[in-house]
């Protein structure tokens, strides 16, 4: 089974965000959402850890210095899929402020992975005191991740020249010669339009190009089949195509019909901006 891009991404887009429960500096102060959000965005790996040994490393290619601390991961709050097994492991932490940690100290570490060997080395982007209950922190992290994903989708909505809902009526491979193993092997998909969310109605149908190739260059690009219904965020990319050709190359460019209200909401918020 392939894991999702964010193992701990628990909330759907537009999920409501729980109120802040933790402080940046002391347990008594509550951290503003924005600061948590920024830390989360810059930190793919977030965990609660305990400092085991100061000025030490546990990768043989590293040399210990004032900034390095061996930290045990006691609870993993968020990490990319390949690092989901970090809980219980010791990592080398490159602290932001040498001398700021003492042995035995427990904290929430917002980090970036920088060296992957027999152990992991992470660079600290920020630090919070460890909370007694992590549930609300997890929610904040998930919300921040969701917001980031949401912004990516919003960017695609903004850059789309045409957003339509409809059904694929026909798929026609172009059969162009392939000059490279990375050639897209373009096909046309004729979409019968049921509604237009953005842009001018092009007619009853719109014909778009999509890559049939599953080469790494086009692997993530949505592939379409006859009878498929959904909502398309259509762009004029990549360069080199005739100007009137529309494509939906990003995984964010095609969604099931039930996402139509959400897309509409993004279009609306984009136009307000």
Binding of another protein at residue 194 (CB under 8 A)? no
Q: What DSSP character marks residue 187?
A: E
Using DSSP, state whether 267 is helix, strand or coil: helix
Q: In the window 134-173, what residues touch another protein (CB under 8 A)? A: none
Task: State which of residues 20, 31, 37, 44 lies at the interface with another protein (CB under 8 A).
Answer: 44
Nearest to 76 by CA among 120, 116, 37, 115: 120
Nearest to 105 by CA among 68, 66, 26, 50: 50
Question: DSSP letter string over 22-61?
Answer: --SSSTTSPPPHHHHHHHHHH-SEEEEEEEEEET--SSTT
The token duo for 45 is 């790996």
Binding of another protein at residue 241 (CB under 8 A)? yes
Binding of another protein at residue 47 (CB under 8 A)? no
- Let me know: does 213 contact 185? Beta carbons within 8 Å: yes
Binding of another protein at residue 224 (CB under 8 A)? no
CB of 116 to another protein, least distance (A): 4
Binding of another protein at residue 102 (CB under 8 A)? no
Q: What gap in Å lies between CA 194 and CA 165, rounded to an integer?
A: 6
Binding of another protein at residue 45 (CB under 8 A)? yes
Binding of another protein at residue 59 (CB under 8 A)? yes
CB of 54 to another protein, least distance (A): 19
CA angle 233–235–239, rounded 5-degree value:
155
Task: State which of residues 13, 17, 62, 148 lies at the interface with another protein (CB under 8 A).
Answer: 62
Which residue, 92 or 140, has its beta carbon nearer to another protein?
Answer: 92
- The length of the chain in residues reads 273
- Torsion over CA: 169, 175, 176, 179 (sign): positive
Task: State which of residues 16, 102, 118, 200 lies at the interface with another protein (CB under 8 A).
Answer: 118
Binding of another protein at residue 60 (CB under 8 A)? yes
Task: State which of residues 133, 181, 200, 243 lies at the interface with another protein (CB under 8 A).
Answer: 181
Task: State which of residues 12, 25, 84, 135 lies at the interface with another protein (CB under 8 A).
Answer: 84
Mode of pairing for the β-strands spanning 106-116 and 45-54? antiparallel
Binding of another protein at residue 273 (CB under 8 A)? no
Task: State which of residues 141, 249, 266, 267 lies at the interface with another protein (CB under 8 A).
Answer: 249
CB of 169 to another protein, least distance (A): 23
Question: DSSP letter string over 222-236?
Answer: ----TT-EEEEEEB-
Which residue, 177 or 227, has its beta carbon nearer to another protein?
Answer: 177
Binding residues for another protein, rule: CB under 8 A, are 1-3, 44-45, 59-62, 80-89, 91, 112-121, 175-182, 185, 211, 213-221, 237-241, 249-251
């Amino acid at each position: 089974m392939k894991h999702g891009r964010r193992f701990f991404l628990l909330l759907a887009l537009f999920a409501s965000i729980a109120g802040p429960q933790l402080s940046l500096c002391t347990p008594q102060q509550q951290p503003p959402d924005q600061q948590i959000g920024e830390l989360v965005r810059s930190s793919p790996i977030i965990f609660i850890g305990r400092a085991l040994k100061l000025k030490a490393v546990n990768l043989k290619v590293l040399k210990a210095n004032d900034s390095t601390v061996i930290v045990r991961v006691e609870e993993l709050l968020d990490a990319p899929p390949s690092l989901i097994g970090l809980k219980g492991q010791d990592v080398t932490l490159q602290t932001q402020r040498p001398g700021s940690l003492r042995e035995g100290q427990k904290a929430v570490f917002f980090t970036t992975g920088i060296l992957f060997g027999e152990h992991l080395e992470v660079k600290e982007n920020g630090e919070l005191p460890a909370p007694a209950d992590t549930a609300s922190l997890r929610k904040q992290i998930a919300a921040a991740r969701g917001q980031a994903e949401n912004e990516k989708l919003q960017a695609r909505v903004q850059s789309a020249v045409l957003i339509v809902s409809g059904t694929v009526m026909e798929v026609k491979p172009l059969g162009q010669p392939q000059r490279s193993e990375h050639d897209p092997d373009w096909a046309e998909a004729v979409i019968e339009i049921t509604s237009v969310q953005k842009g001018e109605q092009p007619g009853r149908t719109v014909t778009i190009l999509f890559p049939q190739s599953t080469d790494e260059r086009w692997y993530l690009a949505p592939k379409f089949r006859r009878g498929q219904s959904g909502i398309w965020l259509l762009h004029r990319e990549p360069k080199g195509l005739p100007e009137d050709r529309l494509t939906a190359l990003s995984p964010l460019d095609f969604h099931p019909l039930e996402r139509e209200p959400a897309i509409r909401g993004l279009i609306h918020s984009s136009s307000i901006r």
